[in-house]
Amino acid sequence: MKRRRFPILKAPQPGRIVVRWARASRGETPSLVYGFGDRDDKATSRVVMRALEEIEVFDGRSLAAELEARGYDLSTLRFSIARREDVLHGTETPVPRGGQTPSASEPF
């Protein structure tokens, strides 16, 4: 049987979150590892981790557990997302909680 090698996940650029099957550091068991570019991305990577591994989506199983139960190989999972340029450079128009942009007649 061929022995598989799993890389150690390197920190991505600021404003980017990466998820893949890797080792968090040398000598650790391979698993889903979450990389974030800077301190501000750490909380967002936690949201992604909860969505994949903690929140029950089907019959009391997380999304990752459900995919494995259906025969998918999590070691092939790769996920990457980057912040929009306007957010990264601080030129974003504020949007209130709930995600709806206010009309011109409504005060913020």
pLDDT tens-digit series, residues 50-103: 999 999 998 999 999 999 999 999 999 999 988 887 766 667 665 666 656 555
What pTM does this model have? 0.66
Higher pLDDT among residues 107 and 25, named by residue: 25
* HSE of 26, CA atoms in CB hemisphere, 13 A: 0
Q: What is the DSSP string of 29-91?
A: PPEEEEEESSHHHHHHHHHHHIIIIISEEETTEEHHHHHHHTT--GGG-EEEEE--HHHHTT-
pLDDT tens-digit series, residues 7-58: 667 777 788 889 988 887 888 888 888 888 888 888 888 999 999 999 999 8
- How high is the pLDDT of residue 12? 76
User: Which amino acid, one-letter code, is at 65?
Assistant: A
| Separation CA 85–CA 87 (nearest Å) | 5
Cβ contacts of 80 within 8 Å, gap of 6 or more? 12, 16, 17, 18, 19
Q: Which region, left, alpha or beta, applies to residue 98 given φ > 0 means left and ψ of -120 to 50 means alpha?
A: left
* CA-only gyration radius of the chain, Å: 18
- How high is the pLDDT of residue 71? 96
- How high is the pLDDT of residue 108? 42
- How high is the pLDDT of residue 53? 92
